[in-house]
Amino acid sequence: MGFDTNFDDNKVSRKHFLTGSIIAAFAPFQALASMSGEVTIDDVKNAEKLSGISMSDEQRKAVLAMYKGSRDGLDEIRKKGLSNEVPPAFNFVPHGKKPKPGTRTSVKVNTPRKFTKPNNDEDIAFLPLTELAELIKSKQISCVQLTDLYLSRLKKFGPKLKCVISLTEEHARKRAAELDEELRKGKYRGPLHGIPYGLKDLFAMKEYKTTWGAEPYKNQVLTYNSAVVEKLESAGAILVAKTSVGALAFGDLWFDGLTLNPWNSKQGSSGSSAGSSSGTAAGLFGFSIGTETLGSIISPSQRCRVTGLRPTFGRVSRFGAMALSWTMDKVGPICRTAEDCALVFAAIHGADTKDPMTVTYPFEYREITNWKNLKVGYVGKELPGKVIELLQGLGAKVEKVSISDNPNGVDEVLSIEAASAFDDIIRDGRVDSMKGSLWPPIFRASSLLTGVDYIQAMRARTQLMNKFEAELQDYDVILAAETGDSLLVTTNLTGHPQIYVPLGLNENKRPIGVSVFGRLYREDQILGVAAAIQKIKQAHRLKPDLSTLV
């Protein structure tokens, strides 16, 4: 559900996105399927050049006869229609060391005691979720008041940043009043009670548009709620805005323009969780929800200096969300702090029968107190912000490790599935209405490759998962500078979790940060490391100057 070209100082990802092809379907000689009219022997000869297979005349005749039957069947499937929400008949399961199965969810954060409400609205707007929750629980601010505060900021700054596609004002005001009434009656739903949030506009919310950021779907209204909306509503969170998303989850350009970085309005926010990251950084809601297929939570979190968690594949239901890659899409929170992410993740994780690839594993978050029991590694050069020294000061043993780059071609599994997900608008030409998008040529290039290519890439993915698990050895977490370069791509393919932690500015006034990667289904460990760093660095207290927005 999203990937991006805007990775700062990430040569691997730039190379990947600018040179990688995206391949599309499951029929042999798919190039022929894109042709209209009668297919001939000459067409088969031309297709040979694209497939890399050479044939004799007799072989071409046999292929042509078989192909015509295959095409008739595939055309029947397309005529009947396959909506984006229909998944393929297989599940992806990450390989590697896993915790024992279980359903326990428990989060213990450092909730401030006797926390006093700041005197002005702007200071309130930029509070971490943990502190906003204390204000609600102690009734220093009502759900209605906090919702009004964020709606006001959304109306003022949302259009300037182009980070909002739809305000859900009517829903938000009604829900806030209901939650205040619950508090008056002594019902408190937990730390998300009354907290306004932003939702990437890939998720269905009935009665509001779900545009996917793309011209062909800009008026789409779905009649049901996504699983994430239902879970967050049950937890007491209040949806105030559907945030901008790069068209069909690519980058930060959507049908109404470019989403901007609040820290630098001359710069896009990166994508494709563009509006969620931009709005969180600008203090337009208490937290937000993003998605990632290959960088779309981590990259905009880096650009906008917020904390983004990409959970293990299958941890959070994608029901009601646009599919880009069924075996790589992931859903996660974008917040001010790691502990905020822990609270949101606790509310949304778990298996869902409507998303057959989801699983339930325990999630028990606690502050790390015994660092000697945690084995920490890092890759690349010395980490920014003296993070190694910081962790060593806490008692951790930090060692340099070596992780191989992922081999070329493995990430084409994303591309195959993406083109399949949007086969209909490729064929009827609506894909061309997305001005400035890179999808049209990528999708068309994808249609020239075969189902065999897909299976080969998936087989190579199996090798990658096994190799990565072996290179992890017995390390619990791995740290890397910024987005993690090739490790971001690798772990999106293997399914392992990652969190991005902003560290503020270096001596050259350049924003810096680190990524923490973890074991499958051990979000608690990477969140614990991130929280410890933030407790010392306090970079999440910094605020962008929004007075420069025009």
In-domain check, residue 123: yes
Structural domain range at position 342: 92-96+113-407+462-548
pLDDT digit string (tens) for the chain, length 550 residues: 666 645 444 433 333 333 333 333 333 344 454 445 688 999 999 888 888 889 999 999 998 998 888 888 888 998 999 999 999 999 999 999 999 999 999 999 987 778 899 999 999 999 999 999 999 999 999 999 999 999 999 999 999 999 999 999 999 999 999 999 999 999 999 999 999 999 999 999 999 999 999 999 999 999 999 999 999 999 999 999 999 999 999 999 999 999 999 999 999 999 999 999 999 999 999 999 999 999 999 999 999 999 999 999 999 999 999 999 999 999 999 999 999 999 999 999 999 999 999 999 999 999 999 999 999 999 998 899 999 999 999 999 999 999 999 889 998 889 889 999 999 999 999 999 999 999 888 887 776 668 899 999 999 999 999 999 999 999 999 999 999 999 999 999 999 999 999 999 999 999 999 999 999 999 999 999 999 999 999 999 999 999 989 8
3-state secondary structure of 115: coil
Q: What is the per-residue pLDDT for 31?
A: 47
In-domain check, residue 105: no
Residues 94, 312: contact at Cβ < 8 Å? yes
Q: What is the per-residue pLDDT for 362?
A: 98
In-domain check, residue 435: no
What tokens appear for 487 in the block? Answer: 């490790």
Verify cis geometry, omega within 30 degrees of 0, for the bond prior to 272.
yes
In-domain check, residue 40: no
Q: What is the per-residue pLDDT for 29?
A: 42
Q: What is the per-residue pLDDT for 447?
A: 63
In-domain check, residue 64: no
Helix axes 57-80, 41-51, angle to 10 degrees: 90
In-domain check, residue 219: yes
Residue in the block written with tokens 């420069």 = 548
CA distance 319 to 348: 12
Q: CA nearest 334: which of 271, 249, 253? A: 271
CA distance 84 to 326: 10
In-domain check, residue 425: no
Query: Over 441-456, what HEC string results?
Result: HHHHHHCCCCHHHHHH
* Element holding 419 (H helix, E strand): helix 412-421
CA distance 110 to 529: 14
How many other CB atoms sit within 10 Å of the CB of residue 476? Answer: 18
Alpha carbon dihedral 240, 246, 250, 253, in 10-degree steps, equals -150
Q: What is the per-residue pLDDT for 30?
A: 45
In-domain check, residue 426: no
**Domains held by the chain: number:** 1
Tell me the CATH number at 354.
Answer: 3.90.1300.10
CA distance 286 to 127: 8
What tokens appear for 378 in the block? Answer: 């890092």
Q: What is the per-residue pLDDT for 192?
A: 98
Q: What is the per-residue pLDDT for 550?
A: 83
